[in-house]
Amino acid sequence: MSKKGIYKIVFMQTGEIYEVYAKSIFQSDMYGFIEVEDYIFDQNSQIVVDPSEEKLKTEFKGVNRSYIPINAILRIDEVDKRGNAKITKSKSSNIMPLPTPIVDGGNKKDP
């Protein structure tokens, strides 16, 4: 019997780096996306609450499946046990992740 893995997915969204854990990921039928299902969050009641993980729980509450663009994913790891899901500010949030294409707008004037 093969052991089911836990995946740590690190991706960027709106200048923040998300680190989440899920039971299943796979390439989407929609070109350029990764599907993430079965998010794992800490279910134990704790005296000390991590506000970053609580924000993630709220954001992904009721979500069955997420489609994350491949260019937003920084890393995917298969891990033995889950860590703390978190959101951190990107130090390079003012850098555009994808360059815009250089296309002439069609304003051609004869010399």
CATH number at residue 50: 2.30.30
**59 found inside a domain:** yes
**Domain containing 77: what range?**
6-89
Domain count, the chain: 1
**94 found inside a domain:** no
Query: Which pTM does this prediction carry?
Result: 0.70
Task: Give the pLDDT confidence of 70-108 residue by residue, as tens digits.
Answer: 888 999 999 988 788 888 877 765 555 554 444 455 555
**110 found inside a domain:** no
| Sole residue written with tokens 């555009």 | 96
- For 39, residues 6+ apart whose C-beta sits below 8 A from its C-beta are 20, 21, 22, 60, 63
**77 found inside a domain:** yes
pLDDT (mean) for 37-42: 82
